[in-house]
Structure formats: structure tokens, C-alpha cells
């Protein structure tokens, strides 16, 4: 591996971006499994739709909060 600081910085940034992407995908899968677990198994009523929407909204909010914390952590390591 090269000792060029610019290349090392680039590689660190790419590694960090890959980690954020992997975390995002994992979180999205977890939210889907948690909130949309009744597709195909039974008819979803209108109350189920609101429960699912509320669950997804809360899950997305947690996702955004987590993403923000991850980005802040990555930025603090880059400086």
C-alpha cells in the first residue's frame, strides 16, 4: 500500500462510506422486518396501515438520528 497521505485519506473515506452504506442497508432491513411483517400473511386493515406508517416513521427517524451520529463520528476522525 502506498504511503501517499492523499491516497490513504481517500481510502479511509471510502471505507467509512462503505460502513455507512452497510449500516443504512441493515437498518432499512430491520425497519422493514419490524414494521411490515404482515404482507402476504393476512389482509392489513386501515388501523394496521396507520400502525405500519407510524412504525416506519419512527424507524426512519431513528435511522436519520443514527446516520447523523455516524457522520459526526466519521467527520471527527477525519479532522
**Residue 14 maps to a domain:** no
DSSP 8-state assignment for residue 42: S
| 13 in any annotated domain | no
**Residue 72 falls within a domain, yes or no?**
yes
Host H or E run for residue 76? helix 46-78
The pLDDT tens digits of the residues spanning 36-52 come to 766 555 555 555 577 87
Query: Which residue has 497521505 as its cell numbers?
Result: 5
Domain residue limits at 62: 19-34+45-79
User: What does the pLDDT look like over 6-36, one tens digit per residue?
Assistant: 999 899 889 988 887 888 788 788 888 888 7
- Please give the mean pLDDT across all residues of the chain: 79
For residue 70, tell me if it sits in a domain: yes
Q: Say if CB 8 and CB 2 are below 8 A apart.
A: yes
Task: Tell me what pLDDT residue 2 has.
Answer: 61
Does 3 reside within a domain?
no
Average the pLDDT over 60-76 and give the result.
Answer: 83
Amino acid at each position: 500500500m502506498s504511503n501517499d497521505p492523499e491516497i490513504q485519506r481517500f481510502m479511509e473515506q471510502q471505507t467509512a462510506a462503505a460502513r455507512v452504506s452497510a449500516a443504512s442497508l441493515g437498518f432499512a432491513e430491520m425497519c422493514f422486518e419490524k414494521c411490515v411483517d404482515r404482507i402476504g400473511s393476512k389482509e392489513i386493515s386501515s388501523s394496521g396501515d396507520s400502525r405500519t406508517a407510524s412504525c416506519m416513521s419512527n424507524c426512519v427517524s431513528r435511522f436519520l438520528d443514527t446516520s447523523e451520529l455516524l457522520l459526526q463520528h466519521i467527520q471527527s476522525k477525519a479532522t
